[in-house]
Structure 1
Amino acid sequence: MASVTGPEIERLIQLLARLPGLGPRSARRAALTLIKKREQLMVPLSSALQIACERVVVCSNCGNIDTCDPCTLCSDPRRENTLLVVVEDVADLWALERAGVVNARYHVLGGTLSPLDGVGPEDLTIDRLVARVAEGGVSEVILALNATVDGQTTAHYVTDLLAPTGVKVTKLAHGVPVGGELDYLDEGTLAAAIRSRTPF
């Protein structure tokens, strides 16, 4: 079937379809909305993308993304220097910050170990993490990694590497979410909740 749009619009749709959560149909709808609302949406979005492309950098200290290096979090003197939270990705860091549950320093690994996908320790920032801890000043490392096989494999690997430093290594508790009903939880979550039970 022949294309009903020009190559420029097709290119826009193809690029939008590469974004997480957007398939071809959603990308077409997004492209149509942008085109219909050119002045209100497309022009400001184009400008914001250009500015982000020019100014956003990866923090050389923790791996967060910001417009300055070191990032705003690393530069904040009110942060607890002795506590280091290790996350897989920047999205996880942002989620913890939104929740406002910890006022610590961060370290972004850039993913998890995954032999099946060809991701080894050299593909992540594990060496930088070990070096940061070895520099001293960190008393606890919190492994805030996802409860997946790859996440837990990475957690065990990092824990073994950090053992010689003597630093306390902890992980997030897993189990029943706040407001969760047991009947709606999967077996893995229930098993984790039982294993991680605490005194009442």
Structure 2
Amino acid sequence: MVSTEIEALVQQLARLPGLGPRSARRAVLHLMKKRESAFAPLLAALQTVSERLVTCTTCGNIDTHDPCAICADPRRDARSLCVVEEVSDLWALDKSRLFPGKYHVLGGRLSALEGVRPQDLSIDALVTRVAAGGIDEVVLAMNATLEGQTTAHYLAERLEGYPVRLTQLAHGLPVGGELDYLDEGTLAQALRARRPVG
């Protein structure tokens, strides 16, 4: 049996996404065994981030600086703006290093079932950014869900009068995907989004 303090640490780690009680227990055991090389640096990093954590007032990213590292990077193409639902989407896209522009985080997606309305998201801030000028393209990188597509449609309507090119991420067949393993919705989207060869 372990002390209540160690058990409390295990329970806190188990609350994190992707970690269950067994994984959390293994992580705590590893941290305790490697106290100097793992536990202390982790604790220091958590403390530092906890003290400095801010939401970027420009794009909505979470970082330790405002503006965030992406918004402050002069190498980024400020003419391209990628709109995402959540910070996790921004991080996933940015990790790919395929989008050279800047981002805008909505903070969710429209959902009648969950009661999420346009005023609950940072849509007005997006419109303000676009209205300020200097943006040529807005990429609507919403998830391929009903709510995501509803949000993309709403954003397209809100941005309709501005001189920007609206684009949307392609949906359909994943690389390496086999047709007989795909659901009907994915196949239908792939067929609708087909393009000429060559």
Normalised by the size of structure 2, how large is the TM-score? 0.92
* Structure 2 CA distance for aligned equivalents of residues 182 and 121 of structure 1: 37
1:20-56 deviation per Cα after TM superposition (whole angstroms, max 9, x unaligned): 1112222222222222222222111111100111123
- Residue 31 of structure 1 corresponds to 28
- Residue 126 of structure 1 corresponds to 123
Q: Are 1:155 and 2:152 an aligned pair?
A: yes
* Structure 2 CA distance for aligned equivalents of residues 9 and 131 of structure 1: 49
Q: Trace 1:1-200 onto structure 2 (pairs within 5 A).
A: 4-200=1-197
* Structure 2 CA distance for aligned equivalents of residues 23 and 114 of structure 1: 29
* Structure 1 CA distance for aligned equivalents of residues 45 and 188 of structure 2: 45
* Structure 2 CA distance for aligned equivalents of residues 46 and 108 of structure 1: 29
* Structure 2 CA distance for aligned equivalents of residues 161 and 13 of structure 1: 46
Normalised by the size of structure 1, how large is the TM-score? 0.91
State the secondary structure of the residue aligned to 1:180.
Answer: coil
Alignment RMSD (CA, Å): 1.6
* Structure 2 CA distance for aligned equivalents of residues 25 and 120 of structure 1: 39
State the secondary structure of the residue aligned to 2:65.
Answer: coil
* Structure 1 CA distance for aligned equivalents of residues 60 and 141 of structure 2: 15
* Structure 2 CA distance for aligned equivalents of residues 17 and 122 of structure 1: 34
Question: More displaced, 24-33 or 106-115?
Answer: 24-33
* Structure 2 CA distance for aligned equivalents of residues 24 and 123 of structure 1: 34
* Structure 2 CA distance for aligned equivalents of residues 118 and 150 of structure 1: 12
1:5, CA displacement in angstroms? 2.7
* Structure 2 CA distance for aligned equivalents of residues 5 and 123 of structure 1: 44
* Structure 2 CA distance for aligned equivalents of residues 130 and 159 of structure 1: 11
Structure 1 segments unaligned to the other structure (5+ residues)? none
* Structure 2 CA distance for aligned equivalents of residues 104 and 44 of structure 1: 33
Instruction: Spell out structure 1 runs of 4+ moving beyond 6 A.
Output: none
* Structure 1 CA distance for aligned equivalents of residues 117 and 8 of structure 2: 34
* Structure 2 CA distance for aligned equivalents of residues 32 and 98 of structure 1: 30
State the secondary structure of the residue aligned to 1:20.
Answer: coil
Structure 2 segments unaligned to the other structure (5+ residues)? none
